[in-house]
């Protein structure tokens, strides 16, 4: 049948069917998928048959990324775990919490928590009748005492943002099982190259994939990993809430996974050197890094984390409060002033005015966050250069 030029322009020949597997991950940059029949469309959309219908629902590139992270998180498990992809870490966090709570539910979370999660719990979910008790997450008795009959989630962070406290993952998981609730841990600061919470009994682990997983500060995404039945609940809420990972972002994040252990090992070694080098500086009131023997959770970190890897983030508390913290950031020359972390470049941010701006002065104090504290993500530069830049900036205070 002869067709007009406009029809031929729209209906171009199909791409070739490959007989070989590509080394790189194919990017399915399409919003919709074509079906051979109305029944196939119905079956795929209804979950009666495997396949793809619409990239807000599922996308092969995004699924490949999520399953790759699940494979890393589930290395030591004898049970199946699967991943769900998201447009950002906050999309992953909010969707998981929406899936595991309801109006009248209750969440127990640590005072030392990422500002975005704090804001979600206190200004969004609170409006829909979900209450949260913030406690000392390192005190399991405090966590246990906060659990109520209506509690559905115990929340934690493998390495707390920004105090760098370490969660007692086996203890938190045991409390959740005892209470019949779900345990969820944000493991963004660790990544599966440092610690795998599911191995310690945690039900769900979430990541801002923008950080260490992607590793190059060029893509935004999130991921949640857990048992298939739990992730099915999360997937359904992800579809309805719309926070799906785009295929191009999924490709970049997936590419980052290939070098994750190499990068995290270097991040960790460099951060340990920088943290140790700053301890004696007269302008420094304290350095928080779980790799330091002086860190309150060092023994727990050494038990839970892979040998020699304590993450690439440290928090510096300069003497002089908020003004000193802002001045420290402004005096940096090599280390960038930027949001996010876990990338190739070292970056710093004044915590109280940026990542934890949602916290009141009282909430900051309760979480143990000094008004001048500065978070530093140590990148892949030479550690001596990063340390030297921080020292010259501290010398100016």
Give the residue numbers marked as catalytic.
56, 114, 186, 211
CA 296/CA 270 separation, integer angstroms: 20
Yes or no: say if 70 and 192 are a contact pair by the CB < 8 Å rule. Answer: no
Q: How many residues does the chain have?
A: 397
CA 40 to chain centre: 36
Cis peptide, bond prior to residue 162, ω within 30 of zero: yes
Task: Classify 69 in phi/psi space as left (phi over 0), alpha (psi -120 to 50) or beta.
Answer: alpha
CA distance 207 to 222: 6
> Pairing state of beta strands 106-110 and 131-135?
parallel
Q: d(Cα 386, Cα 375) in Å, to the nearest integer?
A: 13
User: 50: burial class by Cβ within 10 Å (0-12, 13-18, 19+)?
Assistant: exposed
Task: Give CA–CA dist 394/397, Å, rounded.
Answer: 5
Question: Is 37 buried (19+), middle (13-18) or exposed (0-12) by CB count in 10 A?
Answer: exposed
In sequence order, what E strands does the chain have? Answer: 82-86, 106-110, 131-135, 151-157, 182-186, 204-208, 222-226, 284-288, 313-318, 336-337, 347-350, 374-377
For residues 367 and 355, what is the distance between their CA atoms, to the nearest angstrom?
A: 14
Can you name the residues that pair with 82 across neighbouring β-strands?
226
Can you say whether the dihedral through the CA atoms of 360, 361, 363, 364 is positive or negative?
A: positive
Q: How many CB atoms lie within 10 A of CB 288?
A: 24
């Amino acid at each position: 049948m002869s067709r007009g030029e406009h029809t031929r322009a729209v209906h171009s020949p199909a791409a070739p069917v490959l007989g070989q597997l590509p080394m790189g991950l194919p990017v399915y940059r399409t919003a919709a998928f074509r079906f051979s029949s109305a029944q196939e469309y119905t079956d795929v959309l209804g979950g009666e048959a495997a396949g793809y219908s619409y990239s807000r629902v599922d996308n092969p590139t995004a699924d490949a990324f999520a399953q790759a992270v699940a494979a890393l998180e589930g290395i030591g498990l004898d049970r199946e775990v699967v991943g769900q992809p998201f447009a950002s870490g906050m999309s992953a966090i909010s969707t998981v919490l929406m899936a595991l709570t309801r109006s009248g539910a209750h969440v127990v979370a640590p005072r030392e928590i990422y500002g975005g999660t704090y804001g979600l719990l206190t200004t969004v979910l609170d409006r829909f009748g979900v209450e949260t008790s913030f406690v000392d997450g390192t005190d399991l008795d405090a966590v246990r005492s906060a659990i109520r009959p209506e509690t559905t989630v115990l929340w934690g962070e493998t390495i707390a943002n920004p105090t760098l406290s370490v969660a007692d993952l086996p203890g938190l998981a045991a409390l959740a099982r005892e209470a019949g609730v779900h345990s969820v841990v944000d493991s963004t600061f660790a990544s599966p190259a440092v610690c795998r919470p599911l191995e310690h009994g945690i039900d769900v682990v979430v990541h801002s994939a923008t950080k260490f997983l992607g590793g190059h500060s060029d893509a935004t995404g999130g991921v949640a990993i857990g048992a298939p039945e739990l992730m099915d609940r999360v997937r359904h809420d992800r579809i309805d809430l719309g926070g799906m990972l785009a295929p191009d972002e999924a490709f970049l994040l997936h590419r980052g996974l290939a070098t994750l252990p190499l990068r995290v090992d270097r991040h960790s070694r460099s951060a340990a050197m920088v943290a140790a080098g700053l301890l004696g500086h007269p302008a420094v009131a304290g350095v928080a890094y779980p790799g330091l023997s002086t860190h309150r959770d060092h023994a727990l970190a050494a038990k839970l984390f892979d040998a020699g890897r304590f993450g690439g983030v440290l928090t510096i508390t300069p003497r002089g409060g908020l003004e000193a913290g802002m001045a420290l950031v402004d005096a940096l020359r090599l280390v960038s002033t930027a949001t996010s972390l876990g990338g190739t470049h070292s970056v710093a941010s004044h915590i109280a005015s940026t990542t934890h701006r949602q916290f009141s002065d009282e909430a900051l104090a309760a979480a143990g966050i000094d008004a001048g504290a500065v978070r530093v993500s140590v990148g892949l530069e030479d550690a001596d250069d990063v340390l030297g830049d921080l020292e010259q900036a501290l010398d100016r205070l």
